[in-house]
Amino acid sequence: METWDERAFRLAAERLPKAVWTHDGAGRIDFVNRSFRDYFEFDLSGAADVVNWSSVIHPIDFNRVLPVIARSLACGVSYESEVRLKPFSAPQSAYRLHCMKIVPAEVEADDCISKWVGSATDIQLPGPVTAHDATQDDILDVVLHADDVVGAHRALDHIMGFLRERAGLRADYQAIRLVYFELIGNVHKYAPGRLMVRVDWFGESPYLHVFDRGRGFEYQPSLPTDMLSEGGRGLYLVNCITGSLTVHRMPGCGSHVSVRLPAHRRER
């Protein structure tokens, strides 16, 4: 059984020149050091919000990194990867390449991991981060509250404008509208509060992402057992329309739902 002095660790971590944080046994972040707060521009309470993380991790990396981290914490496996990060309020051009690590720090007698330590070390070399950086034109982010009906319709107007500029007539806008309201309605029902809607278009088709601050959930598309029940069909319908529904539970942060929208870039 491995043990550690948490007070001594935190005192030491506050002096480190890189972002350091810890997860408890359930995967929730329960400590962030001064470098973390200074760089990302949010504190421990902000670290429990997946909306904040979606703003500081490069969108392409976010879709790859957070689901893997969630699985690593659940399976007790260390994680290490290169990730592009930036301060919360910084522009898209401010992403810098970091080495992100999350490793077990305390193991109980029953081999259950009760503490994890995470760190992000800046390893950016001179020059561009990558030849395939996302630009502001590739991404649309809208933050709103799940119970704000007017705001939800206004966000949809922005999304539709974003898609029409790129797809023209090559999109099923009725299906997109239905998918959008099903996902927003699901958040309103199960995770009311602040959420973020993102549309990114890096390939042939765009993706719609919804980040909420709820307790998080896992989902495998299926019809409800009780066919007469009023709930349980929304996400199944979304999966039938898009064929690409994925749901990731972010430990202590909320959920990330992603779908590929039925749209294609118009010919230039």
Which of 84, 82, 66, 85 lies closest to 27, judged by CA?
66
CATH class of 6-122: alpha beta
Beta-bridge partner residues of 96: 85
Structure tokens at 178: 């239905």
Contact 163, 195 (CB under 8 A): no
Whole-Å CA distances, 256 to 12, 59, 106, 218, 246? 33, 12, 28, 10, 8
The CATH architecture of the domain made up of 136-260 is: 2-Layer Sandwich (3.30)
Contact 123, 34 (CB under 8 A): no
- pLDDT tens, the chain, 268 aa long: 345 688 899 999 999 999 999 999 888 899 999 999 999 999 999 998 888 998 899 988 987 887 888 888 888 899 999 999 999 999 888 999 999 999 998 887 777 888 999 999 999 887 655 544 555 568 898 988 988 999 999 999 999 999 999 999 999 999 999 999 999 988 888 888 888 999 999 888 999 999 888 776 666 666 666 555 555 577 778 878 888 888 887 777 788 889 999 999 987 6
Which of 8, 13, 256 lies closest to 120, judged by CA?
13
Say what the pLDDT of residue 131 is.
41
Contact 86, 40 (CB under 8 A): no
pTM: 0.76
Contact 179, 259 (CB under 8 A): yes
Residues present in the chain in total? 268
Whole-Å CA distances, 11 to 53, 112, 186, 192? 25, 25, 42, 36
Q: Give me the residue spans of the domains in the chain.
A: 6-122, 136-260
Q: What are phi and psi of 192, to 5 degrees?
A: -60, 145
CA distance 102 to 59: 20
Indicate left, alpha or beta for 202 from its phi (over 0: left) and psi (-120 to 50: alpha).
Answer: alpha
Would you say the CATH fold of 136-260 matches that of 6-122? no
